[in-house]
């Protein structure tokens, strides 16, 4: 193209999805526009029923989309954006190209490329690229200078615990987590160092309180961070010497891996729903992933790159993985008219 292609990075309500979209858009090295989408109740129909439609968008988002010609390329994530991507492609008369990150809940045939981690039950397809851990920009964006100045005053080594929370089929193993926190405090007390902990929006309030109580009673330097408050996760990742992360969150585990620092997973337990769903799935569909995601497959993929419950540096090159992604994206960019 004589002029750069028009690229839209479609973002929504979920920070982890948005992070992956922006990470890929930035990796292309081309100008792009960020389009914030908001949705109405029609989103509950899901991408199969919605088809190629803008009906699930809020009025403001629909007006924004319709006020401009369709882009040359969309980068999207999450199933809510799928109907919008398909509508844009239809409006462009098939000219627009699309890259989706994650599980679109329809066949990859509807996109030029789907990039998905191992937990998603995406059917094998030539347009699918499976990767062992998610794209991210949190770990690569660098710390906030103000945070960095404060965190650097804490004695090393700095152990970081990243705490998630319940999801559809899994709960944090709170006993194991609090045991690891107590061990980390003991290590810092005996050998020097400091303890960093950050919770997530899914962390139960009672667990947050127990973590805070344990830290306040400890006689070691510590930081207890919360979402959307300083210090940021990016700053904590940059300051940490070792990272322990609960295994429930693909995005937080991936953030830890992208640092290249020693990482260990903290165990999770099946919820009551998870025990039932997993037992039924494995009995009726043995060897197939649980819908809409099966974290067991994600953990297996992580083991192959050296990430487990044992603290160790990952046996993986994040640069090589990004190069693999860009190798699949390049022909799509070259095919833009």
Q: In this structure, are 170 and 202 located in the same domain?
A: yes
From residue 309, give the alpha-carbon distance in Å to each of 27, 180, 315: 30, 11, 14
Coil, strand or helix at 198: strand
User: What's the DSSP call for residue 305?
Assistant: T
Q: In this structure, are 326 and 291 located in the same domain?
A: no
Q: Residue 290 domain-assigned? A: yes
Q: In this structure, are 30 and 66 located in the same domain?
A: yes
0.85 exceeded by the pTM? Answer: yes
If you average pLDDT over residues 144-155, what whole number do you get? 91
Q: What is the DSSP string of 123-150?
A: PP-TTEEEESS---STTTS---HHHHHH
Q: Residue 139 domain-assigned? A: no
Q: In this structure, are 151 and 113 located in the same domain?
A: no
Q: Residue 2 domain-assigned? A: no
Q: Residue 53 domain-assigned? A: yes
Q: In this structure, are 190 and 56 located in the same domain?
A: no
Q: In this structure, are 279 and 161 located in the same domain?
A: yes
Question: pLDDT value at position 149?
Answer: 86
Question: pLDDT value at position 228?
Answer: 85
- Burial code (b: 16+ CB inside 10 Å, e: under 16) for 231-262 equals bbbbbbbbbbebbbbbbbbbbbbbbbbbbebb
Mean per-residue pLDDT over the chain, rounded: 96
> Residue 191 belongs to what domain range?
145-315
Q: Residue 1 domain-assigned? A: no
Asked if omega into 253 is within 30° of 0 (cis), the reply is no
If you average pLDDT over residues 33-53, what whole number do you get? 97
Q: In this structure, are 38 and 108 located in the same domain?
A: yes
Q: Which CATH number characterizes residue 112's domain?
A: 3.40.50
Tens of pLDDT, residue by residue over 233-262, are: 999 999 999 999 999 999 999 999 999 999
**Is pLDDT above 60 for 196?**
yes
Q: In this structure, are 157 and 28 located in the same domain?
A: no
Q: Give me the number of domains the chain comprises.
A: 2
Q: Residue 44 domain-assigned? A: yes
If you average pLDDT over residues 116-143, what whole number do you get? 94
**Whole-number CA gyration radius for the chain:** 21
**Is pLDDT above 60 for 1?**
no
Tell me if 100 sits within 8 A of 20, measured CB to CB: no
Instruction: Work out the pLDDT band at 337, boundaries 50, 70, 90.
Output: low
Between 134-148, 252-266, 309-323, the lowest mean confidence (pLDDT) is in: 134-148
If you average pLDDT over residues 157-164, what whole number do you get? 98
Instruction: Work out the pLDDT band at 191, boundaries 50, 70, 90.
Output: very high
Coil, strand or helix at 317: coil
Tell me if 78 sits within 8 A of 12, measured CB to CB: yes
Q: In this structure, are 295 and 191 located in the same domain?
A: yes
What residues contact 159, with CB distance under 8 A and at least 6 apart? 184, 187, 188, 193, 194, 195, 196, 240, 241, 242, 243, 244
Tell me if 177 sits within 8 A of 264, measured CB to CB: no
Q: In this structure, are 327 and 308 located in the same domain?
A: no
Q: Residue 140 domain-assigned? A: no
User: What's the DSSP call for residue 57?
Assistant: B
- Burial class (CB within 10 angstroms; exposed 0-12, middle 13-18, buried 19+) of 23: buried
Give the whole-angstrom CA distance, residue 283 versus residue 123. Answer: 20
User: What's the DSSP call for residue 311?
Assistant: -
């Amino acid at each position: 193209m004589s002029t750069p292609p028009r690229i839209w990075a479609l973002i929504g309500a979920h920070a982890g999805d948005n992070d992956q979209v922006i990470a890929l858009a930035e990796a292309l090295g081309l100008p792009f526009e960020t389009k914030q989408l908001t949705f109405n109740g029609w989103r509950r129909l899901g991408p199969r029923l919605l088809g190629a439609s803008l009906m699930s968008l809020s009025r403001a988002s629909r007006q924004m989309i319709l006020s401009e010609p369709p882009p040359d390329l969309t980068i999207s994530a999450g199933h809510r954006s799928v109907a919008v991507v398909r509508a844009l492609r239809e409006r462009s008369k098939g000219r627009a190209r699309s890259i989706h990150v994650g599980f679109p809940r329809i066949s990859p045939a509807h996109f030029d490329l789907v990039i998905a981690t191992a937990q998603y039950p995406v059917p094998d397809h030539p347009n699918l690229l499976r990767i062992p851990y998610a794209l991210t920009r949190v770990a690569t964006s660098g710390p906030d200078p103000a945070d960095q100045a404060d965190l650097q005053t804490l004695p090393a080594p700095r152990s970081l615990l990243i705490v998630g929370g319940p999801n559809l089929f899994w709960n944090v193993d709170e006993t194991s987590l609090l045991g690891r926190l107590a061990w980390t405090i003991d290590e810092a007390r005996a050998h020097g160092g400091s303890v960093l902990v950050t919770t997530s929006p899914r962390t139960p309030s009672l667990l947050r309180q127990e973590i805070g109580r344990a830290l306040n009673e400890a006689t070691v330097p510590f930081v207890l961070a919360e979402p959307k408050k300083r210090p940021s996760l990016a700053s904590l990742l940059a300051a940490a010497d070792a990272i322990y992360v609960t295994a429930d969150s693909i995005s937080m585990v991936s953030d830890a891996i992208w640092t290249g620092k020693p990482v260990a997973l903290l165990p999770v337990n099946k919820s009551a729903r998870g025990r039932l769903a997993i037992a039924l799935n494995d009995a009726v569909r043995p060897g197939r992933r649980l819908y809409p995601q099966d974290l067991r497959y994600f953990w297996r993929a992580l083991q192959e790159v050296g990430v487990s419950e044992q603290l160790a540096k990952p046996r993986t090159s994040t640069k090589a993985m990004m190069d693999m992604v860009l190798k699949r994206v390049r022909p799509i960019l070259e095919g833009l008219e």
